[in-house]
Structure formats: C-alpha cells, structure tokens
Amino acid sequence: MQFGRYFEEFEVGATYKHWPGKTITEFDDHMFCLLTMNHHPLHLDAHYAETQTQFKRNVVVGNLVYSLALGMSVADVSGKAIANLEVESLKHENPTFHGDTIYAETTVLDKRESSSKPDRGIVSVETRAFNQRGERVCIFRRSVMVPKRSAVGDLQPADLAPGASEA
C-alpha cells in the first residue's frame, strides 16, 4: 500500500477517491467537542438542538468533518509531506448529523518545483467531503511540500523538521 506520493507522482487534474469512509457517531462528535473545548449545545445537547435549532437535532461540529476528510487524504496526498504549508480555504456547505457517513476525494490543482530547494516541490489540492446521500458537506484547498523521488536519499534530518518553510 502506498502512503503519500513523491512530487513526480502528482499529475495536475488527477482525482484520488479516498477509502474507507467514516460513519460519525454521537460519541465521536461529543469526544471531539470536549477535546477541543467546543461546548456549544448545538453539538452536545439533544434537547437544546430539538427545541432551539432549525435542524431539530444535533449537528456534528464542522472541524471534526474537516479533520476526517483531511485525515482520509493523507494516504493519497500528504503521507510523504515534508510540511503542510497552508489551508487556503475551507467551507462547510451542508450540515453533518450523527450517523452520517463521510467520504472524500481530492483533486490536484497545481504543482511547482521549489524555488529554493531542488529536492522538493509544492502541490496544491482541493479536497471535497460528501455524506452518504452524495451531498457535499465540506470543501477545502491546501498546499503541501513533498520530496522529489530522485532526492529522497539526499534529504537531511533538518530538512524534514516541523515548521520547515518555503522561501
């Protein structure tokens, strides 16, 4: 099984369908909310959600949906990353509810060689997350620095350090 890609392996326009999907349980949502200190009753209080919100039920916290889609993309996109450089945009387009299953896919938008280090390149991608009904629930764009296959043996530990940046 491949885990990530080298710079040369990315093709602009290629789309990777990530597998498997993940069904989000009430436990998943509550644990994520509590771990991240998001105590909004929309996510945690079923009575509040039923009586005080337009959806009449708990909504999964958006950052959990984003984190799942991002995690699903790692094996195909950033598993070999030297650095995750930026998240350019993030939109939550539809709500996710307890019991929904999330699936994701990523399209390569652009790639360019590093201007300062010849052993790596920058890949820009767009990841889309869908529920089991095919409704898009989340979309985001990000850029990742990945090594070139030809230079893997030449990387030094300092080159792989967290926070490495592109000049």
Please state, in angstroms and rounded to a whole number, the distance separating the CA atoms of residues 53 and 69: 26
Q: Which fold has domain 7-152?
A: Thiol Ester Dehydrase; Chain A (3.10.129)
Looking at residue 49, its pLDDT comes to 96
pLDDT tens digit sequence for 43-101: 999 999 999 999 999 999 999 999 999 999 999 999 999 999 999 999 999 999 999 99
Nearest to 88 by CA among 53, 56, 123: 123
Q: Is 117 left (phi over 0), alpha (psi -120 to 50) or beta?
A: beta
pLDDT of 158 reads 46
CA distance 53 to 59: 10
Average of per-residue pLDDT across 1-25: 94
Domain boundaries along the sequence of the chain: 7-152
pLDDT of residue 163: 54
Query: What residue has token string 């080159």?
Result: 159
Beta sheet of 15-23, edge-to-edge order: 15-23, 101-113, 120-130, 136-147, 83-92
The pTM of this model reads 0.87
| DSSP H or E stretch at residue 108 | strand 101-113
**pLDDT of 11 above 70:** yes
